[in-house]
Chains A and B, each alone.
Chain A
Amino acid sequence: MAITIIIASLIICGFLAGIRLMQSPRSALWGNRLGALSMLTAIIYTYIATGHGAPTSTLIYIAIGTLTGFVLGQSVKMIHMPQTVALLNGLGGAASALVAWVALSSSGNKVVFLFTAGLAVAIGALTFSGSVIAVLKLQGLAFRHPVNLKGHGHILRLAILLSLLAVIINSFSPGYSSLTVIAAGLALLAGLLMALRIGGADMPIVISLLNSLSGIAAAVAGIAVENLILTGTGALVGVAGLILTRIMCRAMNRSLLSVLAGFVPTAKKDIDSGDRETLDKESGQPGVAETPEKPTLEFIINDAQKIIIVPGYGMAVAQAQMAVRELVDTLEAQGKEVKFAIHPVAGRMPGHMNVLLAEAGIDYDKLLDMDTINPQFEHADLVIAIGACDVINPAANSAENTPITGMPILEAEKARHIIICNLDEKPGYSGVDNLLYSKLNVTTIWGNASETVPELTARLKNHK
């Protein structure tokens, strides 16, 4: 007993130390490896501890899982990271639900055991079905637009309540297969309903929430099977997911409840990623809109020394990361200083933009978060926004009663000049017109960023 507690504490400390190393990009790789090592230790310890009974077949199943996991991890593209994480969340949730399901079928009739095991089945099932829908949406396979059924919210709440009720009844008068199946079925339905009506830009919040739920499912399953390591580690994941959910909600000016309730900021000009991608293909005409009284692009850029680039999801959709990198290289070759301003929701999951830019070979020293970069905009000669709209819209500070009112934004408006490379002049996801577009010190370049950015780079090179 005592030895179990000590070993469990050590393994959880291993995970915590791994996360501690993730606080810096220099040590993060080792943090991940320490986490993997702790995981391996936990598995080996569990295998030995139950060794007298664990059949050899378990090793075969582990081998199958390892191979599949490795192939999956090796083959995914960085742009597809949100759906990969969503998929893995779903698998983890399903595994926890199955563990609790098997435990229910074999042992125990204590109330605590029955309740936690039933709860783990329900949470795991909800995580699984919610994740499946999230993957389909993110991969663009189905439900690209939010689906809102008649009485959606009522059915969702009812499904969750009834599922919980089935779990509770089962804890006091166990009827293993029937009641647990009902609880699981209702939870699956709840997960489907919850994810179906989420819009594209709200995905970072939902992925974070599903991440948290997969941890909570593991923790609750851990209580059921009386496993300290499972409980502690599940709690870590649950907390991490909740922290990220809160950060994403704040950055998007949404409350978690309004996202889950399927509340879309505005219905009139609702543009989500699905629409944007179709637009890319149909009318990706690059065109430079310059009004005569404005100085030429070449002049503006040549005149600038301190430049901040604001990348948005539109850049990622246009796959323009490499083009942006070439632009940065060109600017730096001309002796200019370049920094990136990364808004917390510039992507489809927390921190996604940083990964995409790192993949394009851009130093992480140049990737600055909102709080670091905001005081520096007023000293910048030039801001180049690429596929970013809502996150630089000053309407967030000045306008009243819009979906983005009060949303923290990158203060690009404070720079001396702004160049905006967006697909078109339609507003972003929020549907609020960007106040920057009409300002005198703003030059807009409409078109697909994978064409307009290289064009800009070429003009700079020729000008020199």
Chain B
Amino acid sequence: MLTSILIILIASALFGYRIISAVPALLHTPLMSGMNALSGITVIGALTVFISAPAEAAGWAAAALILATINVVGGFWVTERMLRMFKGKKSEGEVETPWQ
């Protein structure tokens, strides 16, 4: 199990690096808030530990679940709101004409 975990860790980091580097500065704020929502993925960790949690730790597991869900929903929703505001007139493929 540890091997597959390490493989997926490295693969995600490498592919992530390539794809994320190509996001233009124009969209860096939505990128960050979107990635922020992804860090709420720990919600599935909270779900997993919830079951095995001893009674005295159940409150912590519940808190983790709530906080992570706020992170996910809040993050995706602010990103949605921001991206809806981005409007352009140029059509697909049309590029900026630099002044000569």
Least Cβ–Cβ distance between B49 and chain A, in angstroms: 4
Q: Say yes or no: B49 contacts A218, CB within 8 Å.
A: no
Determine if B88 and A236 form an interchain contact, defined as CB atoms under 8 angstroms apart: no
Q: Which B residues are CB-close (under 8 A) to A437?
A: none
Known A15-B38, A237-B35; contact A95-B43, beta-carbon cutoff 8 A: yes
Is there an interface contact between B26 and A367, defined as CB atoms closer than 8 Å? yes
A98 within 8 A of B: yes
CB neighbours (8 Å) of A226 from chain B are: 1-2, 5
A198 at the interface (CB under 8 A from B): no
| Contact stretch, chosen from A86-94, A264-272, A390-398, A423-431 | A86-94
Q: How far is the CA of A363 from the CA of B90 in the complex (A)?
A: 9
Alpha-carbon separation in the docked complex, A400 to B39 (Å): 42
CB B57 to nearest CB in A, in angstroms, measures 4
Distance A92 CA – B27 CA, assembled complex (angstroms): 22
A47 within 8 A of B: yes
Residues of chain A from 389 to 446 with CB closer than 8 A to chain B in the complex: none
Set A81, A96, A215: member contacting B38, Cβ < 8 A: A215
Q: Which of B17, B31, B64, B96 contacts A368 (CB under 8 A)?
A: B96
From B2, B21, B51, B61, A243 is in contact (CB under 8 Å) with B21
User: Are the C-beta atoms of A92 and B80 separated by less than 8 Å?
Assistant: no
CA–CA, A225 to B53, complex, Å? 12
Nearest A residue to B36, CB-CB: A88
Size class of the contact patch on chain A: 35 or more
B86 vs chain A, min Cβ distance (A): 5
Residue of A nearest to B74 (CB): A69
A residues 21-78 near B (Cβ < 8 Å) are 22-26, 28-29, 31-33, 35-36, 39, 42-43, 46-47, 50, 53-55, 57-58, 61-62, 64-66, 68-70, 72-74, 76, 78
Chain A nearest CB: distance from B80 CB in Å? 6
Contact B47 A50 (CB under 8 A): yes
Number of interface residues of B (CB under 8 A): 87
In the assembled complex, which residues on chain A have CB atoms less than 8 Å from the CB atom of B28? 244, 247, 349-351, 354
CB-defined contacts of B73 to chain A, threshold 8 Å: 65-66, 68-70, 73
Q: Mark A213-240, 1 if CB is under 8 A from B, else 0.
A: 0110111011101111111111111111
| A137 to B: closest C-beta gap in Å | 18
- A250 → B minimal CB distance (Å): 12
Q: How far is the CB of B35 from chain A (nearest CB, A)?
A: 4
Whether A89 contacts B69 in the complex (CB less than 8 A), given A222-B45, A230-B45, A233-B12, comes out as no
**A8: Cβ under 8 A from any B Cβ:** yes
In the complex the two chains form, is A351's CB within 8 Å of B26's CB? yes
Kindly state the separation between the CA atoms of A29 and B53 in the bound complex, as whole angstroms.
Answer: 38
Closest chain-A Cβ to B75's Cβ sits at a distance in Å of: 5
B81 surroundings in chain A (CB, below 8 A):
73-74
Top 8 A-B pairs ranked by shortest CB distance? A65-B69, A69-B73, A351-B28, A73-B77, A98-B64, A69-B74, A350-B28, A53-B51
Known A29-B84, A61-B66, A211-B32; further 18 A-B contacts with Cβ < 8 A: A43-B47, A54-B51, A73-B74, A73-B77, A81-B29, A85-B29, A88-B36, A88-B37, A88-B75, A91-B40, A95-B42, A95-B67, A98-B67, A103-B49, A208-B32, A222-B5, A239-B12, A306-B99
Residues on A facing B (Cβ under 8 Å): 1, 5, 8-9, 12, 15-16, 18-20, 22-26, 28-29, 31-33, 35-36, 39, 42-43, 46-47, 50, 53-55, 57-58, 61-62, 64-66, 68-70, 72-74, 76, 78, 81, 84-85, 88-89, 91-96, 98-99, 101-103, 105-107, 112, 207-208, 211, 214-215, 217-219, 221-223, 225-241, 243-244, 247, 306, 337, 342, 344, 347, 349-352, 354-355, 358-359, 361, 363-365, 367-370, 372, 375-376, 379-380
